[in-house]
């Protein structure tokens, strides 16, 4: 059940079936305030038949534009924004508690190079300008363990086609997972896709987190519980 006192983001696109929760625990007062004040000023909206140029979302031109699909609590999104202030980042997340957490990071670090899409990413992706991103991140997505739910996994042929279209030639698609089934699924689908080249040359390239890939709470929890994260980097060819 959604907390009736929690602020929800403005509708930004068409509704479709969404699998999963939209909210967990009631938001703390300071996070509810950020949902009401900060979120509207950095929200990306999707309008019918509109093509969204990431460059138009920011007050000043950026050297690159990056997209994170499902940013969880926003730790990775905020770290990348803080370390790369000349880059414009768009983060997508539908879970309200995750959005509120990301807003707290954005507010604390005074990050003006982040925009948020607080709805189903499937409605945003087709609206984005082609070949406009230098990096796209998909970090620890829901693995949908049951075979009958496999069609809900983000990594599939259709979505990889979309990701390939959004990346500039030479751009990078990063995928992280700690779930053995999803690890194999993602690697199999992406390496078979003609638009992507796996950048790994040795085991440490996927077994050790790169220096410019910060840890997240979810990843650290997985490690404590004995799961082994994998870090995949693919080049758009």
User: Quick one: 90 exposed, middle or buried, by C-beta within 10 A (0-12, 13-18, 19+)?
Assistant: buried
CA-closest candidate to residue 162, choices 138, 179, 143: 138
- Per the annotation, the verdict on 3 as an active-site residue is no
Helices (H), the chain: 29-37, 39-42, 75-83, 96-108, 121-124, 157-166, 180-192, 204-207, 217-224
Q: CA-to-CA distance for 174 and 127, rounded, in angstroms? A: 21
Spatial neighbors of 209 by CB under 8 A, at least 6 apart, are 215, 219, 229, 231
Catalytic residue among 142, 161, 179, 212: 142
Annotated catalytic residues are 142
């Amino acid at each position: 059940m959604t907390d009736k006192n929690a602020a929800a983001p403005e509708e930004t696109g068409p509704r479709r079936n969404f699998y999963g929760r939209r909210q967990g625990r009631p938001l703390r007062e300071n996070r509810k305030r950020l949902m009401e004040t900060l979120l509207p000023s950095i929200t990306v909206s999707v309008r019918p038949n509109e093509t969204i140029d990431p460059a138009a979302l920011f007050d000043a031109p950026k050297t690159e534009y990056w997209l994170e699909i499902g940013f969880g609590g926003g730790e990775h999104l905020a770290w990348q924004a803080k370390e790369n202030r000349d880059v414009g980042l768009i983060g997508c997340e539908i879970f309200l508690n995750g959005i509120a957490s990301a807003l707290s990071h954005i507010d604390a670090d005074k990050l003006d190079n982040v925009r948020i899409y607080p709805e189903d990413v499937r409605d945003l992706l087709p609206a984005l300008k082609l070949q406009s991103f230098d990096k796209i991140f998909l970090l620890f997505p829901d693995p949908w363990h049951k075979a009958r739910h496999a069609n809900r996994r983000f990594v599939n042929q259709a979505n990889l086609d979309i990701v390939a279209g959004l990346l500039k030639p030479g751009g990078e698609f990063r995928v992280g997972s700690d779930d053995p089934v999803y690890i194999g699924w993602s690697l199999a689908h992406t390496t078979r896709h003609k638009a992507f080249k796996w950048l790994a040359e040795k085991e440490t390239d996927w077994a050790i987190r790169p220096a410019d890939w910060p840890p997240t709470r979810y990843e650290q929890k997985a490690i404590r519980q004995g799961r082994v994260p994998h870090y995949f980097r693919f080049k758009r060819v």
